[in-house]
Amino acid sequence: MNANVRFADHYEPLIGGERTSLSDQSFDAVNAATGARLATITRGGAADVNAAVAAAKAALPAWAATPVGQRAGLLHQLADWVETNLDRLAMIDAMDIGRTIGETPIDHRIAVNQYRFFAAAAVTHTGWNNPIPGGWAIAKREPLGVVGQIIPWNVPAIMTAFKIAPALAAGNTLVLKPDENASLSTLELCVALAEIFPPGVVNVVPGMGTEAGAALTAHPDVAKLAFTGSAEVGRIIAHAGADRLVPVSLELGGKSPNIVFPDVDGLDRVVDNAAFAATYCNGQSCLAGTRLFLHDDIYDDFLSRLKKVFEGIAVGSPVDPTTRLGCLVSQKQGERVLDFIASGKQEATLVTGGSRAAVPGNEAGWFIEPTVFETDNNSRIAQQEIFGPVLSVIRWRDYDQMIDQANGVEYGLASGIYTSNLANAMRTADRLKAGSVWVNQYFNLVDGSPFGGYHGSGLGREYCAATLDMYTQLKSIVLSEEVPPPMFG
């Protein structure tokens, strides 16, 4: 792949099918590793959001009436465009957010699959009808209307697809706000969105969460809110939805347990997969398996192998194909992760890593050594989401106590189990309070499998056919063949 990607000098919102802005303010998109400015982006505000919502509202009747097969065909066109431009989009993300060029193409392939999945799923997403004496009872699915969507910076391609694919497939129009730290690949996607979809169906307004995000959340013409991000902001958006009685779907944080049983075969492979679970996406993933529960019988051997693997992970430039761990997205995130590491050094035992790494030619980047701590489940680093390549290792022997600890955080997004025993796998999967349970392979995302969390990890499920339920409502129609006989005289 060629790292010499050409960017537009300036990117504007997509409103009503046109690249335009009502704000005269902008912000810089910078290379996360080098600090070089890549482009400027309009800092959208309330005026841009108002215009985008108005465009989406105007486009709604025609789009909602568009046959589902035609909507599906346009989603397939979008998938085709992403496939054609995948290498360029992947390099843009590597530069913009510091993810490695070995990872970012995977994001866009997942996005392609999402566009195609919902194009197919929408065709069969219908209501029902039942004959009743003298007529029919019908339940009809209808789109909710204008949808406001806000996404984070860690996997922008996936998050964009997670949001717009089901919303459009179900017949809604939308306004999407990308994160200010990772807007470029989404704004590049606007080239295709403007060419493929009717004006106003898809609108994209970049900007700050406290400005564009707040205006979108509070807009009276937005009929549904969808958010992925922190639990703190998620609660604010949930309150905003409650105030206006509009549905809200939330995908929030995680502090996922990854459990190793002593009966597991192929220990080196398990070690490798557990390391991958904690460091993929530079650890900046709500799914990350950041609490590793190791059984006492294999603890010392496993930890020794894990230390060796972590110390062998290549930290380097995100655009170098040999790099396995890039940099964090920003100085703010880097300082946050180092603060967690500092507290870990006070309350836990550092096994390896624990410092900022220097990468020549990338001095602006916040590269963090892959870090492992031995700790217990009550420590700060085991309880709070760090969003960096930091793994907490917890020893266990008593099964029931381990399950209590695995569930003993505010989140419940994902989890992992390594075992050669089917009974261990199934009884543990049943007891874990997590929306996703992966047995013997972490991050084993399968198209069509529900994705979402328990309690503090959010509301609703994405990535599956049931997601279309979140973007539609049921209307009841009861039809009688004739008017009943008179009741009064």
Does one domain contain both 44 and 160?
Answer: yes
Cα(51)–Cα(49) distance, integer angstroms: 5
Task: Count other Cβ atoms within 10 Å, centred on residue 310.
Answer: 22
Range of the domain at 466: 10-252+453-475
Residue 464 has a pLDDT of 96
- Residue that has been written with the tokens 């025993």 in this structure: 421
Catalytic-role residue among 103, 188, 211, 286: 286
Residue 172 has a pLDDT of 98
User: What 3-state DSSP class applies to 181?
Assistant: coil
Does one domain contain both 49 and 142?
Answer: yes
Count CA atoms closer than 13 A to 379's CA, side-chain side: 23
- Residue that has been written with the tokens 């991958």 in this structure: 276
- 164 domain residue, yes or no: yes
User: What 3-state DSSP class applies to 300?
Assistant: helix
Does one domain contain both 263 and 239?
Answer: no
Does one domain contain both 85 and 212?
Answer: yes
Rg of the chain over CA atoms, in angstroms? 24
CATH of residue 215: 3.40.605.10
Does one domain contain both 230 and 313?
Answer: no
Cα(174)–Cα(17) distance, integer angstroms: 12
- 190 domain residue, yes or no: yes
On whether the CB atoms of residues 434 and 451 are closer than 8 A, the answer is no
User: What 3-state DSSP class applies to 260?
Assistant: strand
pLDDT in tens, the chain (489 residues): 556 789 999 999 999 999 999 999 999 999 999 999 999 999 999 999 999 999 999 999 999 999 999 999 999 999 999 999 999 999 999 999 999 999 999 999 999 999 999 999 999 998 889 999 999 999 999 999 999 999 999 999 999 999 999 999 999 999 999 999 999 999 999 999 999 999 999 999 999 999 999 999 999 999 999 999 999 999 999 999 999 999 999 999 999 999 999 999 999 999 999 999 999 999 999 999 999 999 999 999 999 999 999 999 999 999 999 999 999 999 999 999 999 999 999 999 999 999 999 999 999 999 999 999 999 999 999 999 999 999 999 999 999 999 999 999 999 999 999 999 999 999 999 999 999 999 999 999 998 999 999 999 999 999 999 999 999 999 999 999 999 999 997
Cα(165)–Cα(74) distance, integer angstroms: 10
Catalytic-role residue among 251, 369, 385, 462: 251
Active site residue 83: no
H runs (alpha helix) in 68-103: 68-84, 86-97
Active site residue 251: yes
Smallest CA-to-CA distance from 380 within 416, 355, 344, 411 is with: 344
User: What 3-state DSSP class applies to 226?
Assistant: strand
- 485 domain residue, yes or no: no
Which contiguous run of DSSP H or E holds residue 303? helix 299-311
Does one domain contain both 95 and 233?
Answer: yes
- 486 domain residue, yes or no: no
On whether the CB atoms of residues 394 and 68 are closer than 8 A, the answer is no
- 488 domain residue, yes or no: no
Structure tokens at 235: 């609660």
State phi, psi for 323 to the nearest 5 degrees. -70, 140
Tell me whether residue 138 is exposed, middle or buried, using C-beta atoms within 10 angstroms of its C-beta: 0 to 12, 13 to 18, 19 or more: middle
Structure tokens at 424: 């261990």
Count CA atoms closer than 13 A to 32's CA, side-chain side: 33
On whether the CB atoms of residues 393 and 373 are closer than 8 A, the answer is yes
Does one domain contain both 381 and 326?
Answer: yes
Does one domain contain both 234 and 295?
Answer: no
CA angle in degrees (0–180, nearest 5) for 407-280-151: 80
User: What 3-state DSSP class applies to 387?
Assistant: coil
Does one domain contain both 262 and 397?
Answer: yes
On whether the CB atoms of residues 256 and 414 are closer than 8 A, the answer is yes
Distances (CA, A) of 128 to 138, 140, 474: 6, 7, 10
On whether the CB atoms of residues 212 and 204 are closer than 8 A, the answer is no
Percentages of the chain per state (helix, strand, coil), in multiples of 5? 40, 20, 40
Does one domain contain both 133 and 247?
Answer: yes
User: What 3-state DSSP class applies to 50?
Assistant: helix
Tell me whether residue 265 is exposed, middle or buried, using C-beta atoms within 10 angstroms of its C-beta: 0 to 12, 13 to 18, 19 or more: exposed
Structure tokens at 395: 């020893």
- 214 domain residue, yes or no: yes
- 482 domain residue, yes or no: no
* Number of structural domains found in the chain: 2
Does one domain contain both 241 and 275?
Answer: no
On whether the CB atoms of residues 378 and 361 are closer than 8 A, the answer is no
- 489 domain residue, yes or no: no
User: What 3-state DSSP class applies to 232?
Assistant: helix
Q: What is the largest CA-CA distance in the chain?
A: 94
CATH of residue 419: 3.40.309.10
177 contact partners, CB below 8 Å, separation of at least 6: 44, 148, 149, 150, 151, 204, 205, 206, 207, 209, 212, 213, 216
Does one domain contain both 242 and 263?
Answer: no
Structure tokens at 239: 């309150």
